[in-house]
Amino acid sequence: MYIFASEGLGQSPEMLSDFDDEKRRFDAANAEHLKRLAPPALGVLPLDVLRKAGLTTETRINKSTAALLQSVLERSRVLRPYIAGKLISIKIPKNFIHHDFDKVFEHKLVSLHNIVIPMGSSAEKELKNIYGFYHAQTQTIHLRPSANIGHALHEAIHKFASPGFLNIFGKFLNEGVTHYFTDLVLVEQGLLKSKAYAEELACAKNLVRICGRERVAQAYFLGSNKLAMDIVRLLNISLLDLYKLKKQGDASLCAKINKIIPN
């Protein structure tokens, strides 16, 4: 025995047809909305946003910086293959906080990360050299009053990273890879590379030399596990050993990665 939809649900075929028509209209409107939100096609707009705005890597940030960085990342030929799907939902101006006072910036850093820094300690001295940070849990970018374009771009790129990269490879290498892509975008903009994270960046460059930029980018932005498997194979260790290396200290994994590179 067959039961027609109109019998089983108390709806006439005409009502079901109206529902289908409404759904098609909704889907079409939603597709058009997503199309409007999508980043512009590469090649449509000029690439060098920052240089045309008269900015350099060392220029201090201001109220227009977040919007400019959004344009920079939307137009980046280097990053577009990996961040295109995130550009609709991730907006740099949202939760982009340029603090007016150093003390407020430093208080926010220690409070959000739930850390204690003793007065007069080496950690307190190192704190003065931190110009920005991205807090993943609140999806906020925080920048010191004197932060520049290079600092801000570095933190903006953090916002597009897969959480898995930090979890697997640790903070040291995470910062190095973030800065590696920051420098690529700065050069793409016709600007000088940023002077920061020298040791971390050296490790990231070695990682790229060993495994290739594509592999590193897929792991960093898209959460691919292929890079981790490459490292495990190259170092002849297990995934558990990789995790232990991260726990031993931020530079422990990099020490082993750097040994792979021939002199």
Number of domains in the chain: 1
First-to-last CA distance in the chain?
A: 80
Residue with tokens 């793409």: 188
pLDDT digits (tens, 9 = 90+) for 89-143: 999 999 999 999 999 999 999 999 999 999 889 989 999 999 999 999 999 999 9
The pLDDT value recorded for residue 12 is: 63
In a domain, 30, yes or no: no
**Torsion angle of alpha carbons 17, 23, 29, 34, nearest 10°?**
-150
User: Domain range for residue 82?
Assistant: 49-260
pLDDT digits (tens, 9 = 90+) for 185-212: 999 999 999 999 999 999 999 999 999 9
Number of H helices, E strands in the chain: 14, 3
Q: What is the mean pLDDT of residues 20-42?
A: 63
pLDDT digits (tens, 9 = 90+) for 172-191: 999 999 999 999 999 999 99
In a domain, 136, yes or no: yes
What pLDDT band is residue 248 in, cutting at 50, 70 and 90? Answer: confident
In a domain, 28, yes or no: no
Angle at 221 between CA 217 and CA 223, to 5 degrees: 100
What pLDDT band is residue 31 in, cutting at 50, 70 and 90? Answer: low
Query: 140 with 97: CB under 8 angstroms?
Result: yes
Question: d(Cα 258, Cα 253) in Å, to the nearest integer?
Answer: 9
Q: What is the mean pLDDT of residues 40-66?
A: 90
In a domain, 7, yes or no: no
In a domain, 8, yes or no: no
For the entire predicted model, the pTM comes to 0.84
In a domain, 65, yes or no: yes
In a domain, 37, yes or no: no
In a domain, 32, yes or no: no
